[in-house]
Amino acid sequence: MFEIIKINLKTGRATIPIQAKNKEEFSVVGNELKNKIKQLLGGRSLHIRQIDAGSCNGCELEISALSNPIYDIERFGIHFVASPRHADVLLVTGPITRQMEPALIKTYEATPEPRIVIATGDCAINCGVYANSYAVSGPLNTIIPVDVNIPGCPPSPTAILQALLSILDRLPKK
Amino acid sequence: MSDSKKYFIARICSLLKLPANSLSANENEISAFLPLHELPLIVKRLCQMEEARCVFIGATDDRKNSKSFGLQYLFSIDKESLLILLRSKVPDHSLKFPSIAVQVAAAAAFEQEIWEFFGITPEGHPNLKNLLLHEDWPSETFPLRKDFDPHQKIKRVEKKSSNFLQVTGEGVFEIPVGPVHAGIIEPGHFRFSVAGEPVIHLEIQLGFTHKGIEKLAEGKTVLEAAALAERISGDASFAHSMAFCQAVEKIAKVTVPKKAQVLRVIFSEMERLYNHLGDIAGIATDVGFSFGAAQMLRLRELILQKNDRFTGHRLLRGVNIPGGVLCDLTAEIKNELRSFLNLLLDQYAPVEHLYFETDSLMDRIEGTGIVLEKVVRDLTGVGPVARASNVKIDLRQDFPYADYPNLKFEVAFRKEGDVAARMLVKMAEFKEAVSIIFQALDHLTDEPLVVNIQSLPEGSALGWAESARGEIFHWLRIGRDGKVERLKIKSPSFSNWRILPWAVQGNIVPDFPLINKSFNLSYSGNDR
Ligand code: SF4
């Protein structure tokens, strides 16, 4: 245990700091996001429900990376929730396989308004390499209305955070 | 080749009625054609007397050329490092072949898949039902037949009755879960039959992420198909692309430059590193030991960032192509990688130690989710799941490829078969992987990175790679036009998913996430 504490002291903070100069940087985006969430949601945090609609799991890998100590997305007031009923935002990945389409629609219907839908990754946007397959019903915007696209295969954690920032303007003020 | 191996091969050849010298050029593959009616007996002998393991069964639609469907059975005799590919033919007027599932349990799922995708029936199959295509799939619609249009939209038919095995009795009830789960994971549907806390039976329905990858690959150039291969399972992008590229290279009869082979080893071990750390962290998360998990996840993210820095992609996509790799490591980067690995080991060791000291973690995982060796052998489990149950198979050692023959490493294995054993195997493999990268770095020479593949002759070949989850096989056939005619993908998860229900039986429901995490299976790899 003390070994680790020693290493941690030496390493310093692993998390990317909140004050940074470079506009592109994760923390700048995150900080802006935090302020907006505060402004718009009146201190409430932003709740996201992720839905895998047939992804290759690459997108999931990057979305879960957002929660690791380096990105630590919860510090910006963003929270992944277990139920669509608690969600403000649906983060959908994958080309929407024929066999996930019904479950996706049910989940969408279970999410309270205003539900913001984000197509995450090239697959959700245009089906990527799986386009025109018999087993694919997507892209996402042909099935449910999409508010924001995050391109990339998979999109980087920073890109995902940036997209979250851009949607906040669409949430009703509290 | 040793005398005992020669003798062994002569025995197999006589069993298959082949001339004694019919070993292919690379000395570990035998291929034989057998008429359908002889198959069951020979397979039975191979499996029972020679300890052959059923790796996969695939099919092809050859009705255009030979008025028949082709079948391919791949067996592996691991202790002798020998692969046996049996081929057979099903005439298009009969559409039936004898099932071997009663003798070889692992064959059951492959036969179901062939029935579902080609419409040829395994006669005598003990449990013939849909595997990947769901109940609203129309009958007589077989995606892997050549006359099936890959781009059509399939209408939904009224659902047939559900496929689940139901347990009845006093106090037994069913807990359905999924396909949309609580966490950030892939979709699948589980049904637990429980009486009180312990699970009596678990039924799993997959196929939610079925994307028709095998069908999509058909008619594509190998370069296009390589991009698909990288997207079979995101966290095994490199391993899948390696298996695919090696199959192409065999058909093209080219030898990849030594440097590219070494780089392939380095990148596939980097993939193993980040996957294993993620799995080890996941175990801690699931028992509520978030301090340990956070430490492991921090190190994992550092590896992903290094991947990005060295190759331009965090998941190592776009690095491999048929003929070699596209990404070199400069002298400066090599040094950076060396010092990074040292740092990684230094910081990993105390966290691992902390895991062992944390009773709340170790108590939960020891004795939980035990998989018996017999189950692994019967269902031909692979990867860390097999190695944690005393089945010591690893393609890197048994069928070495790329630069692996020139590297020294131990294959980690345990006997207990529980969650702890699977975690310990991964911990040992993590350290071995670092040592492999160190060794490989010394093997890098100044050579070109790619050999040009001018044109591809007609033909078929097997490619394989040991991913973090276990063995991957790709069986590729190139047609006369130099394009992909058939790609059969065998992912490690396809076998290991069939083992999970056995690991869960008798355990309590709250331990399911933990057991599931210790398997860490790919839904997409299974469903393709
Ligand atoms: S966008 Fe790329 S990473 Fe994401 S699901 Fe599609 S293929 Fe996988």
As for the ipTM of the complex, it is 0.88
pLDDT tens per residue across span B39-63: 888 888 888 877 889 999 999 999 8
Q: Is the pLDDT of residue A37 over 80?
A: no
3-state helix, strand, coil in chain A (%, to 5): 45, 15, 40
> With a 6 A CB cut-off, is A58 part of the ligand 1 pocket?
yes
Q: What is the model's pLDDT at position B192?
A: 87
Q: Which residues of A touch B148 (CB under 8 A)?
A: 134
Mean pLDDT of A71-97: 87
Strands (E), B311-458: 320-321, 324-325
Tell whether ligand 1 has an atom less than 6 A from the beta carbon of residue B318: no
Cα of B328 from ligand 1 centre, angstroms = 25
Q: Which residues of A touch B185 (CB under 8 A)?
A: 52, 60
**Hunting for tokens 């057991």 — which residue is that?**
B515
Separation of alpha carbons B72 and B90, rounded Å: 11
Residue A52 CA to ligand 1 centre (angstroms):
10
**Residue A21: pLDDT above 60?**
no
Å from CA of A55 to ligand 1 middle: 6
- pLDDT of B209 reads 93
Distance of CA B14 to the CA centre of its chain: 31
Tell me how far apart the alpha carbons of residues B137 and A137 are, in angstroms, rounded to a whole number.
14
Preceding amide of A155 cis, omega within 30: no
> Rounded to whole angstroms, what are the CA distances from B119 to A103, B251, B306?
28, 29, 47
* Residue A80 bridge partners (DSSP): A48
Please give the pLDDT value at position B488.
94
Mean pLDDT by 10 residues, chain B (528 residues): 74 75 67 85 83 91 90 88 88 89 90 92 88 87 91 84 78 84 85 87 90 93 92 93 93 90 93 94 90 91 91 91 89 91 91 89 89 91 92 90 89 90 94 93 86 87 93 93 92 92 89 90 92
Phi, psi of B403 (to 5 degrees): -95, 10
- Which atom, in ligand 1's list, is nearest to the CA of A129? 7
How many angstroms separate the CA atoms of B41 and B357, rounded? Answer: 52
Rounded distance between C-alpha atoms, residue B241 and residue B166, angstroms: 40
What is the band of A170 on the pLDDT scale with cuts at 50, 70, 90?
low
Chains A and B form CB pairs within 8 A to the count of 151
Tell me the two tokens of residue A4. 């680790």
Establish whether residue A154 lines the binding site of ligand 1, counting it when its CB lies within 6 angstroms of any ligand atom. Answer: yes
Q: What pLDDT does A73 receive?
A: 84
Chain A closest-CA separation from residue B109 CA (Å): 20
Q: What is the pLDDT of residue B22?
A: 63
Q: Write out the H or E segment, with its range, that includes residue B466.
A: strand B459-467
How far, in Å, is the centroid of ligand 1 from the Cα of A159?
A: 14
pLDDT of residue B21: 63
| Closest chain B residue by Cα to residue A83 | B182
Mean pLDDT of A106-118: 88
How many Å is the maximal CA-CA distance in chain A?
Answer: 56
Report how far ligand 1's centroid is from the alpha carbon of B161 (Å): 33
> Is B304's CB within 8 Å of A4's CB?
no
- Closest-CA residue to A92 (of A137, A149, A134): A149
Quick one: pLDDT at residue B510? 87
Q: Please compute Rg for chain B using Cα positions.
A: 23
Q: Domain A2-170 maps to which CATH number in 3.40.50.1970, 3.10.450.350, 3.90.100.10, 3.40.50.12280?
A: 3.40.50.12280
Cβ proximity of B305 and B455 under 8 Å: no
Q: Does pLDDT of A152 surpass 60?
A: yes
If we measure between CA atoms, which residue out of B239, B143, B131, B236 comes closest to residue B188? B131
Residue A24 has pLDDT above 60, yes or no: no
Q: Which two tokens stand for residue B194?
A: 């429980």
pLDDT digits (tens, 9 = 90+) for B473-516: 999 999 999 899 999 999 999 999 999 999 998 888 888 889 99
B276 three-class SS: helix
Dist CA B88 CA B419 (whole Å) = 40
Looking at ligand 1, which atom is closest to the CA of residue A61? 3
Q: Taking the CB of residue B355, how many other CB atoms lie within 10 A of it?
A: 22
pLDDT at A78 over 70: yes
| A144 Cβ contact partners less than 8 Å away, ≥ 6 residues apart | A104, A105, A108, A117
Task: Pick the atom of ligand 1 nearest to A62's CA.
Answer: 3
Could you tell me if the CB of A63 is within 6 A of ligand 1?
A: no
Q: Is A25 exposed, middle or buried (CB count within 10 Å of its CB: 0-12, 13-18, 19+)?
A: middle
User: How much is the pLDDT for A169?
Assistant: 65
Q: How far is CA A72 from CA A24, A162, B68, B295, in A?
A: 17, 15, 57, 13
Residue A19's pLDDT is 46
CA distance B441 to B433: 12
- In chain A, residues 109-148 whose CB comes closer than 8 Å to chain B: 128-130, 132-137
pLDDT in the model for residue B110: 93
Residues 34-93 of A with CB under 8 A from B: 50-65, 67-71, 80, 82-84
Distance CA(B402)–CA(B255), nearest Å, equals 10
What is the set of domains in chain B, with CATH numbers?
3-123 (3.30.460.80), 172-205 (no CATH), 213-444+455-520 (1.10.645.10)
Is residue B350 within 8 A of residue B358, CB to CB? The reply is no
Q: What whole-number distance in Å separates Cα of residue A153 and Cα of residue B514?
A: 29
> How far is the alpha carbon of A62 from chain B, nearest alpha carbon, in Å?
9
